[in-house]
């Protein structure tokens, strides 16, 4: 027996107890925080995800958010649609130029690195924080690995690309937001629970942060009402991997994992072991 859950479906230890024939949970996502991986491992159930095939789609969407925040794209769209645009003005909707600024990557796995590689032609300096260094990424992009404190204080754009694990949950909170550069842009296409939503809303309300571009939230589809109402946000409905190509490949990998495990072969993309 196999389960192919979507990321919105929690698969917990209690459910697993009632499924003695379950051999594999083939999560149709790269993140797997919706699966009790420890309970599965203890029961000998394989857990797989869909890495690689959504890296480019998610990195592209991260850049949609970076550019939309830097150039106040939503405010521009709203101005035109509201029919109150009175014409070109030298100080209208001034954003920031990316060239020469610093992009900070919190996490530089597949997606973080793909976001960093796209930063090179924009002329951004790249800093990143990871547990272990990424020498090839550094060679390809000139990125420098720094402590989290420096990432916070030097990034003009801080983009989150870490998994949701106990050490990363709430990593962007009232305290760390205060350490960010005034006017900086926060981007999150990873997992919503990395960010304390109310603290972020307050930083935006107070004008300490320049903008926030988010694709993920703590309690999807709910969004903290204060964050939904906060100024200078670009809020998307968790569409990082939403291209036809990526979603087709994600489904194909999930099915291939199920087929492999049910015929007794090792899974293609296990999340442990």
3-state secondary structure of 48: strand
Does 30 help bind ligand GLV (rule: CB under 6 A)? yes
Does 29 help bind ligand GLV (rule: CB under 6 A)? yes
Report residue 262 as tokens: 């049910």
Considering the complex, what minimum distance in angstroms separates the CB of residue 60 from ligand GLV? Answer: 14
Does 31 help bind ligand GLV (rule: CB under 6 A)? yes
Report residue 245 as tokens: 């190509």
3-state secondary structure of 139: helix
3-state secondary structure of 37: helix
Q: Which one, 119 or 254, has the nearer CB to ligand GLV?
A: 254
Q: Which stretch binds ligand GLV (CB under 6 A): 15-23, 28-36, 123-131, 179-187?
A: 28-36
Does 7 help bind ligand GLV (rule: CB under 6 A)? yes
Q: For residue 188, which of 121, 104, 249, 117 has the smallest C-alpha distance?
A: 104
Residue given tokens 């130029």 in the structure block: 97
Out of 240, 253, 269, 271, the only residue in the binding site for ligand GLV (CB under 6 A) is: 240
| Active-site residue list | 191, 220, 238
The C-alpha torsion from 158 through 197 and 133 to 155, rounded to 10°, is: 20
Does 201 help bind ligand GLV (rule: CB under 6 A)? no
Q: Which one, 1 or 6, has the nearer CB to ligand GLV?
A: 6
Q: Which one, 74 or 239, has the nearer CB to ligand GLV?
A: 239
Integer Cα distance of 178 and 181 in angstroms:
8
Q: Which one, 130 or 163, has the nearer CB to ligand GLV?
A: 163
Integer Cα distance of 62 and 234 in angstroms:
11
| Residues in touch with ligand GLV (CB under 6 A) | 7, 29-31, 54, 240-241
């Amino acid at each position: 027996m196999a389960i192919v859950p979507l990321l919105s479906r929690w698969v917990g230890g209690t459910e697993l107890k009632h499924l003695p024939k379950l051999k594999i949970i083939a999560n149709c996502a790269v993140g797997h925080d919706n699966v009790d991986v420890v309970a599965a491992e203890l029961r000998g159930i394989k857990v797989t995800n869909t890495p690689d095939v959504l890296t480019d789609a998610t990195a592209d969407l991260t850049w949609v958010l970076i550019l939309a925040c830097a150039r106040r794209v939503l405010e521009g769209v709203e101005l035109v649609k509201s029919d109150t645009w009175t014409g070109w003005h030298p100080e209208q909707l001034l954003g920031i130029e990316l060239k020469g600024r610093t992009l900070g990557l919190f996490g530089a796995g597949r997606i973080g690195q793909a976001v960093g590689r796209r930063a090179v032609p924009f002329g951004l300096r790249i800093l990143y924080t990871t547990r272990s260094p990424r020498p090839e990424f550094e060679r390809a992009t000139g990125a420098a690995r720094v402590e989290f404190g420096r990432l916070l204080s030097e990034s003009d754009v801080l983009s989150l690309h870490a998994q949701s694990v106990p050490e990363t949950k709430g990593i962007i909170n009232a305290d760390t937001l205060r350490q960010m550069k005034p006017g900086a842009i926060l981007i999150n296409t990873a997992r919503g629970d990395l960010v304390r939503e109310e603290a972020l809303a307050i930083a935006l309300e107070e004008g300490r942060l320049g903008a926030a571009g988010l694709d993920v939230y703590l309690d999807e589809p709910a969004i903290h009402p204060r964050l939904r109402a906060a100024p200078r946000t670009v809020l998307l409905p968790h569409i990082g991997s939403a291209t036809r190509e990526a979603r087709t490949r994600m489904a194909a990998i999930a099915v291939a994992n199920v087929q492999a495990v049910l015929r007794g072969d090792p899974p293609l993309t296990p999340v442990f072991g």
